[in-house]
């Protein structure tokens, strides 16, 4: 190489280095809450493409192509909602069909589009809770998982046909642990667990088949333990049927067809519940339409019991988003870092995805930037009990895979 050319190349390299902007996005001045690293202070967060690469007290803004000023805001991991129903209908004709052919949660009218509800409430990962089974999972994947901006993962229902209503969800012959496990193992990037729900009978077969599938595929089981009349015993479920790390959803439900964790008459938490949680059973909120009662949650929290994770049970009848529910837990006296933990780092570990749900360097840049809005707020549960609060969490910006995907009353980038 000629001497002159070499000097020119060296000069070019020096110039490029001096003006380089290595970070694709910089979030400045936000109050970071990261449960995984126990970080709670004001930090700048630098991102390159889809990864968090640096967290420091001050990062030179000139080194970033784009930046967001999060002064006065909360910067936390993108929220993870592990109980949703997003296997939406392929067309409006199916969605509006109320005849027997309606597919309900399994591609029918009960399910919603994930992107319409996720980013506006700081959610970057949604887990569908059993809407599809081994027979229709490929349809769910092609229609929803592969086409959504939201990261969509799935619990596979133990019923081969998924949650398509009755009589399908009562067909114990279609609850095949081996076939369910086969499909779960074929799609390890998408399927994070097995689901049991809506079984009316008194047999333990649905739970046991789901646990056998979970054991073969090395993934947890999520149990929606209804709808049995009289209710089946939850202590027996925890002690004799579930494994450690299996998930009991709708944990604050108070309905006649399921045994509650708080005795509704005495108003106290059943002592074995805390013991089972300490042993490793996971308790998830699954708020939904009728699956949460303050008369369960308030005494449980007063007794020192907190759910491991908060989730919405998003579907057509469920009207509360993640931030509504997080705000209700704040109103019940749970502190903000704990509430954030129950909506990010805890669910990430419950579904075996520890690269999500944290703000650590090297991890995926899924980030929610929230604000505590002051005002008079109230929430009423399906039993008519109301909770009031002077603050509510709102989402200002949502970043998924390092890209801004939602902006509330703020300019974008």
Residue 72 or 317: the one with the smaller Cβ distance to Zn ion is: 317
Residue 313 or 350: the one with the smaller Cβ distance to Zn ion is: 313
Residue 129 or 370: the one with the smaller Cβ distance to Zn ion is: 129
Binding piece for Zn ion, criterion CB under 5 A, among 138-146, 226-234, 270-278, 306-314: 306-314
The minimum distance between CB 85 and Zn ion, in angstroms, equals 6
Residue nearest to Zn ion (CB): 313
Residues 6+ apart with CB under 8 A from 231: 256, 257, 258, 259
Token code pair at residue 184: 């779960």
Q: Residue with structure tokens 């910089």?
A: 26
The minimum distance between CB 118 and Zn ion, in angstroms, equals 16
Residue 23 or 287: the one with the smaller Cβ distance to Zn ion is: 287
Residue 276 or 313: the one with the smaller Cβ distance to Zn ion is: 313
CB-CB neighbours of 355 under 10 Å: 12
Alpha carbon of residue 325 to chain centroid: 12
Query: Could you say which residues in the range 311-330 bind Zn ion, by CB under 5 A?
Result: 313
User: Do 315 and 303 contact (CB within 8 A), yes or no?
Assistant: no
Residue 105 or 238: the one with the smaller Cβ distance to Zn ion is: 105
Residue 292 or 397: the one with the smaller Cβ distance to Zn ion is: 292
User: Do 359 and 52 contact (CB within 8 A), yes or no?
Assistant: yes
Cross-strand partners of 328: none
Positive or negative torsion for Cα 390, 346, 221, 354: positive
The minimum distance between CB 80 and Zn ion, in angstroms, equals 16
Which of these, 24, 53, 40, lies nearest to 345 by C-alpha position? Answer: 40
The minimum distance between CB 223 and Zn ion, in angstroms, equals 11
Query: Could you say which residues in the range 118-147 bind Zn ion, by CB under 5 A?
Result: 129
3-state secondary structure of 125: strand
Q: Does 34 bind Zn ion (CB under 5 A)?
A: no
Residue 64 or 129: the one with the smaller Cβ distance to Zn ion is: 129
The minimum distance between CB 319 and Zn ion, in angstroms, equals 14
The minimum distance between CB 104 and Zn ion, in angstroms, equals 11
**Burial of 202: CB neighbours in 10 Å, binned 0-12, 13-18, 19+:** exposed
3-state secondary structure of 326: helix
The minimum distance between CB 323 and Zn ion, in angstroms, equals 19
| Secondary element (H or E) of residue 285 | none
Dihedral angle of Cα 298, 207, 113, 339, to the nearest 10 degrees: 30
Binding piece for Zn ion, criterion CB under 5 A, among 188-196, 305-313, 332-340, 342-350: 305-313
The minimum distance between CB 315 and Zn ion, in angstroms, equals 6
The minimum distance between CB 375 and Zn ion, in angstroms, equals 30
3-state secondary structure of 173: helix
Binding piece for Zn ion, criterion CB under 5 A, among 47-55, 89-97, 308-316, 380-388: 308-316
User: Do 238 and 269 contact (CB within 8 A), yes or no?
Assistant: no
Binding piece for Zn ion, criterion CB under 5 A, among 53-61, 201-209, 269-277, 307-315: 307-315
3-state secondary structure of 258: coil
The minimum distance between CB 16 and Zn ion, in angstroms, equals 53
Kindly determine how many residues on this chain lie close enough to bind Zn ion according to the rule CB under 5 A.
Answer: 2
Q: Give CA–CA dist 153/125, Å, rounded.
A: 8
Q: What are phi and psi of 190, to 5 degrees?
A: -105, -35
Query: Could you say which residues in the range 178-207 bind Zn ion, by CB under 5 A?
Result: none
Residue 129 or 331: the one with the smaller Cβ distance to Zn ion is: 129
Token code pair at residue 202: 């008194």
Query: Could you say which residues in the range 211-270 bind Zn ion, by CB under 5 A?
Result: none
Token code pair at residue 349: 């570990």
Residue 115 or 313: the one with the smaller Cβ distance to Zn ion is: 313
Interacting residues toward Zn ion by CB under 5 A:
129, 313
């Amino acid at each position: 190489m000629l001497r002159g050319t070499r000097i020119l190349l060296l000069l070019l390299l020096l110039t490029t280095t001096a003006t380089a902007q290595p970070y694709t996005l910089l979030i400045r001045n936000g109050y970071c809450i990261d449960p995984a690293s126990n970080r709670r202070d004001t930090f700048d967060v630098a991102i390159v493409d889809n990864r968090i690469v640096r967290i420091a007290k001050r990062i030179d803004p000139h080194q970033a192509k784009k930046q967001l000023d999060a002064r006065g805001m909360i910067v936390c991991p993108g929220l993870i909602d592990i109980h949703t129903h997003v296997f939406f209908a392929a067309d409006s004709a199916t969605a509006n069909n109320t005849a027997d052919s309606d597919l309900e949660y399994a591609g029918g009218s009960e399910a919603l589009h994930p992107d319409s509800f996720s980013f506006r409430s700081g959610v970057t990962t949604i887990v569908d809770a059993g809407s599809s089974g081994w027979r229709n999972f490929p349809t769910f994947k092609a229609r929803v998982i592969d086409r959504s901006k939201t990261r969509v993962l799935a619990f596979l229902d133990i019923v081969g046909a998924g949650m398509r209503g009755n009589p399908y969800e009562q067909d114990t012959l279609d609850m095949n642990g081996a076939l369910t496990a086969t499909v779960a193992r074929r799609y390890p990037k998408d399927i994070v667990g097995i689901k049991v729900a809506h079984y009316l009978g008194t047999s333990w077969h649905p739970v046991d088949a789901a646990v056998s599938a979970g054991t073969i595929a090395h993934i947890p089981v999520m149990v929606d333990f209804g709808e049995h009349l009289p209710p089946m015993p939850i202590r027996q479920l925890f002690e004799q049927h579930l494994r450690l790390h299996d998930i009991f959803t709708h944990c604050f439900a108070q309905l006649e067809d399921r045994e509650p964790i708080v005795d509704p008459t005495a108003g106290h938490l059943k002592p074995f519940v805390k013991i089972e949680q300490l042993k490793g059973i996971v308790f998830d909120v699954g708020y939904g339409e009728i699956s949460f009662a303050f008369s369960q949650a308030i005494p449980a929290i007063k007794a020192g019991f907190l759910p491991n994770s908060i989730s919405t049970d998003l579907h057509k009848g469920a009207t509360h988003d993640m931030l509504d529910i997080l705000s209700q837990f704040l109103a019940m006296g749970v502190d903000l870092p704990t509430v954030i933990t129950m909506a990010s780092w805890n669910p990430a570990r419950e579904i075996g995805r520890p690269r999500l749900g944290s703000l650590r360097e090297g991890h995926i840049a899924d980030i929610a930037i929230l604000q505590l809005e002051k005002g008079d707020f109230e929430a009423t549960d399906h039993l008519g009990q109301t909770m009031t609060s002077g603050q509510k969490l709102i989402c200002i910006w949502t970043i998924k895979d390092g890209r801004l995907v939602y902006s509330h009353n703020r300019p974008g980038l």
